[in-house]
Structure 1
């Protein structure tokens, strides 16, 4: 396939590498061109604007930080929508609000163009290894058109509906649940440590028995080893996703009490100077609450 990729952060670079290894033709764009160096060295081409990038592509993938960033690369004279050709599909891999995705889907359709929302689960190492879990929603024929790209970047593709905003909501729900796991593990680890049980031993028991799932293994290890100072997924992005899931829930009149608790943990983490840490750093607040030494 001829693919354009916009957004070359930790996730985007890994995704781009997977596409190139699979033999796809890749053109890239990012606000900072130096982040494209690794992919350009592997054979990717550079475009100066999202519009230029979109021209002549079968699909344009966007992996950007938030709603504002997605709007910035999609709309306007130099936006990807202006360059997207007939039959091409815009695939939004980003974790953004369902409301924005619904709005963009309408704008695409009004111009006779296609949007598929396909956010992914997995950290940068999974993106680099093509081991993401990919969630897609949109018109079936549009998903079929981009299936080779989606299957290339992940280990499993889930098709969940014909409305792009549905996948956006599922991704937010998934991240909400991960944040609850992080908070629970942080509280449990603090309790164990206060009682003289090494946190790494607690995590070994949990992940080696009834909680032998990737999310517990990955975040349990980060919490036990205080590995959250090396951000794979920055705390402000986790806070943004928490805010978006609460907004979506309020719009549908669905209470999310745990999301509200986690919201306060993100706020406190920022107040404690942890904005540059991984989002799992909210677990460190439980140690502070327990009076454990730094």
Structure 2
């Protein structure tokens, strides 16, 4: 998670551009949980979106994240009195007593965890009957625009290939399997849910209740892409390549947006007629994976 902990990472843009977890995700987790709802820990809480989404369901929510800047952003956005934030790593929570946590959730963070260490700590802190839920989403698809999707896939898998922090990207590409709970003595009811609009899912169950859909614009997609850790690393490696908005000749994201517009005839026509391409509306869907396990 070093990119997001970098002092130069734009945590405000992350908070503004990344969509929060959908309500139906929380409903799915809570339906599985069916246990006391006193203490919840949000691992890798970032700007606190998941903590706020669950605030009405738990007596106390503790959001933890290694990034001081992310926690400042979370604090600024949080008005709920039952949410607290703490700077630390997911793999070591020494201030949490053993067998006291009802639910541990991680949204868009588990691919950064050390699987062995984090599950050892989960086994220590989660009470019997308690739940761990790891949710991740990614691999954007612009609904109804196959040409743009080909450009997006190339952007992620080729243009940014060497800039994705590892092993996080490899864990995601392996559909989060490396962070699945493999302890069948201390944990039961192992559950894997997956929604994949690309149609390439090999999950045991493909479900609608974790589906990730985003109504946005091309400008919103551009801003969202700029929050990627790989784009941050690319910009660090190319400090002289300023974006068009910064007054430069353009960077890797500008090149992608131009490529997508040129590939999609209707977008190109709007742009050539003087329209603002950033205002073009679109629908995004993503792969969504939810891993859950219950403490025995």
Query: What's the TM-score once normalised by structure 1's chain length?
Result: 0.41
Per residue, is there more strand in 1 or in 2? Answer: 2
Query: What's the TM-score once normalised by structure 2's chain length?
Result: 0.41
Per residue, is there more helix in 1 or in 2? Answer: 1
